[in-house]
Amino acid sequence: MPPGGGGPMTDCEYSQISTHSSSPMESPHKKRKIAARRKWEVFPGRNKFFCNGRIMMARQTGVFYLTLVLILVTSGLFFAFDCPYLALKITPAIPVVGGILFFFVIGTLLRTSFSDPGVLPRATPDEAADLERQIDIANGSSSGGYRPPPRTKEVIINGQTVKLKYCFTCKIFRPPRASHCSLCDNCVERFDHHCPWVGNCVGQRNYRFFYMFILSLSFLTVFIFAFVITHVTLRSQQTGILNALKDSPASVLEAVVCFFSVWSIVGLSGFHTYLISSNQTTNEDIKGSWSNKRGKENYNPYSYGNIFTNCCAALCGPISPSLIDRRGFVQPDTPQPAAPSNGITMYGATQSQSNMAAATPLLQSEPSLTSDELHLPGKASLGTPCTSLTLGQPTPPSSMPNLSSEATLADMLPLKEELVGHQFLTPEEAPSPPRMLAGSPLAHSRTMHSLGLVSQDSLHEDSVRGLVKLSSV
C-alpha cells in the first residue's frame, strides 16, 4: 500500500498511440525532403551551364570548339617546330613573347565565352500582370479588354529621344541599348551581337574581354605568320626553298592558316576599335541608329565627345554584377518567370474571364440534368423530338408555367446582380430537386436549367423576350 493511500493501487499500462497512418489519405501533412534546386536549372533561356552554374554558354557551341582547336593546333605547331630553330638562330625572346600572347588569347577567349554577357531577368507573372494594369491605366481602359500594350516608350538621354521597346518574350520594357537575342532567347544589356566563334552573346559584361581577345589574336596571328616566314626563309638560304618546305611541313600549314585568318581577324579588330572610339555597338551601327541620314539633329547620346574618354569608358570602367543570380537557390514560394507568348499577348483576358465567371457562377458549377432526372407532366422526355413552332408571334408552350405577372418572369430570370452575389451551397445544405425551396436562387437556376433542356430545340432568346412583352401587356 502506498504511503497516504486509501487502498491498493491498480497497475495500469499505458498504450502508445501510433501517430503513423497506414493510409495515405490519413497523412496529408507528411513532408518529404525535396532537394533544393538552383536557378540555373530552371533558367528559361536557351543556354548551357557547366560547373554548377559557374560557366554559362549558348547552346550552339560547335564553332567555339573549332576556334579553340585552330588556336591550340596552330600555336602548338609553332612552339614545337619553329620556336626551337628561331630561339637558336635569332633570340630566345621569340618563344617567350609568343607564349605570353598565347595565354592572353586563351584567357580572354574563355572569359568571353564562359561569362554572363549581361542577361536581363524576365518578369514574374505578378510583375507582368502589374505592368499590364499600368498599360491599361495609361491607355485609359480600366476594364478588361484585348488591347495590346504600346510597343515603345520614349525617354530623354542627353537631349536625345531614345525609344524603349517592349519584349513580348521577357515581358519587360528593355532598357536603352538592350536587345533580345533570338539564338539565346534572352534580353542582353548593351547588346552588341551574338558571336558563334566565342559561343556566347557579346554584351555589357563581356565586351571588353571580347575586344581584348580579337585584338590579341590579331597580334598572335601576325606574330606567328611573320616568324614562320622568317623560319622558312632562313632554311631556304641554306638548303633551298624546296628542301626547306620538305624539312618543315608544319610551317607550311601554319602559314596557310594564318594567311587566310589574318585578314578577317585584323579587319574585325579595326572595326571594333572604331566602335569603341565612338561609343557605339555593332547592333546600333548596323541599324544606323545614330546616323546623320536619319536627320541633322540625330546624334549619339552615349558618346563623351572624346576618343580617349570613350575607350576608357568601354575598357576600364567598372563591370556591372550579374542580374540573374544563376547559382542562387530557388525558393518554394518564388514565382517563376512568365512564359513567352510567341509575340501574341491577350491583355485583359484574365480579367474579362474572371468577370464572366463571376457573372454566371451557377451555370459553371452545377451539373446538368439528364432526361431521367427531369420529369415534367404533359411533356415527353429529351429523347423524343420537340414540337416545332410556326413563324410569327411567339406563343408559350403548353408546359410553360403561367406567366401572369412580371414578378413570375423576374423570378425565373434572375438578375445579374443576384447571380454575382450568390453564395454557393455545400452538398449537405443543398436540398434534393423534388423538395427544392421555391424562393432560393438555387431553385431559380434549376428552373431555368430545366426549361432550357426541355425547350432547347423550340425556344430561343427572341421567344423569351416576346413572352416578357406579352406578360407585361
**Helix (H), strand (E) at residue 18:** none
- Burial letters 219-250, b for 16+ CB under 10 A, else e: bbbebbbebbebbbeebeeeeeeeebbeebeb
Cβ neighbors of 254 (< 8 A, separation 6 or more) are 74, 77, 78, 82, 224, 225, 228
- The candidate with the shortest Cα–Cα distance to 264, out of 414, 67, 461, is 67
* Beta-strand runs (E) in 44-107: 47-50, 55-58
**Nearby residues of 386 by Cβ (< 8 Å), 6 or more positions away:** 380, 454, 455, 457, 458
- Kindly give, in sequence order, each residue whose CB lies less than 8 Å from that of residue 269, ignoring residues fewer than 6 positions away: 211, 214, 215, 217, 218
Catalytic-residue membership of 181: no
* DSSP conformation class of 295: -
Whole-angstrom Cα distance, residue 359 to residue 173? Answer: 35
Q: DSSP of 31-55, one letter per residue?
A: -------BGGGG--SSEEEETTTTE
Counting every residue, how long is the chain? Answer: 473
Q: Which three cell numbers stand for residue 319?
A: 563591370
Q: Which residue has 406567366 as its cell numbers?
A: 403
Q: How far does CA 391 lie from the centroid of its chain?
A: 57
Name the DSSP letter for residue 17.
P
The one catalytic residue among 167, 184, 187, 195: 195
Q: What is the DSSP letter of 332?
A: T
- What H or E segment, with its residue span, contains residue 128? helix 125-139
* 153 contact partners, CB below 8 Å, separation of at least 6: 163, 164, 166, 173
Catalytic residue ranges: 195
